[in-house]
Structure 1
Amino acid sequence: MTAQPPAPGQPELGEDSQLARLVRIMHQLRSGCPWDAEQTHRSLATYLVEETGEVLDAIEAGDDTDLREELGDLLLQVVFHSEIAAGEGRFTIEDVAAGISDKLVRRHPYVFDQGSQPPDDIDASWEARKRAEKGRTSALEGIAEHLSVLARATKVTSRSRNHHVGVAMDDEPIGADEVGQQILSLVQRAQASGVDADQATRDALRAFERRVIEAEATG
């Protein structure tokens, strides 16, 4: 694979890079700050969720200054978790970077292998490679339980379509504005009727997941 130059505006990274500086600072904080020293993966989990939400807020606001700051806060979480693991002799930030780099190259042979062509269905190809790598037997394996119900429903639906599990799904085209309006309307009707919209959606999703599993078992 031929090394590519950095994108326009992106610096070459070395020991004097700001990323390397951040790693060194985090190392000093773990050894010199009582609060940082006592943190664990579990104690930091809530901050990871909060920082992710703040990045999303900055994206929606369209403010580059806020987005840069919030991405920095999110990057800190990655470096912090890696520093904790490094201190326990488990893995380092370099291992984290190497792992995602290797994965991206492996999952994009049509970019990094000369002569390869992009597949007709890039999403399905990505899912197929992931499934083969991880030895998964179900389209639903590996979907995070901590996702919001709407995010999980989207992921379950995408996986089920890409894996061709054979469960009927509504595929009538619909615009983004109509999606938002209909979801909001359903939430409002549910609230007026004393129905927990989140739980009702979760129940419906679980029922759909059971149908997917049954279809996979009989298919």
Structure 2
Amino acid sequence: MFDTVQGGGAALERARAALRLAERRVGVQHRDQVVTLAPSAPAPLTELLPGGELPRGAVSAVLGSATLTTWLLGATQGEGWVAVVGWPDLGVVALAEAGVKLERVSHVPDVRGRGAAVMASLIDGFEIVVAGPRLQLTASERRRLTARARQHGAAVLSAQPWEGAAVTLDVEAASWSGPDHGDRWLREARHAVVRRSNADGAGRRFEVARDGTGAPTASTTAARAAAARLTG
């Protein structure tokens, strides 16, 4: 016998009591085994992140997709202030479409060779600091900035590889649909993402999807397989 859990409540408990009574009457031994159904609603994009948010006092790296970076900012900014450094090609339209509050964003596209100093100053005062692809830092500078983020509790989001990152999201493939494959009017976007962190071992795979103008969502390969079994 299986108990299928879809939520709490008196009705569920009455059903379980009735089941146990019927089992006793026919001499069937009950074996508790709870099966939790996959959620019917899409999971928010924060499912990509351990704990559901950008780790504070640490670095997270998003590799291979400016779009995913902006989506994560929109999903995690809240009422915090964001600084973007060394990313001259990142437009305000992309940030606004991702749900980023532009009135709480500072954009420093050109650091004139003083990237480490600029980043250090911003880490002191901003909740989230984005290190863009044009930011040139040495390995020792990245280590010092990681220590500074830990000291001030800031979340650093890097668009380039970063040694010692707490979380790395590597976009292996992306597809776009709509006129001209989504170049003119985006209807759907899907990203295959591998998350690597201390808790993930060799990595955990996700699919990130955005349909039309809806919010992007994330699901693991295991969750998609379970949902397919339940609906198949």
Greater percentage in strand: 2
Q: What is the TM-score normalised by the length of structure 2?
A: 0.20
* Larger RCO (alpha carbons 8 Å, 6+ apart): 2
Q: What is the TM-score normalised by the length of structure 1?
A: 0.20
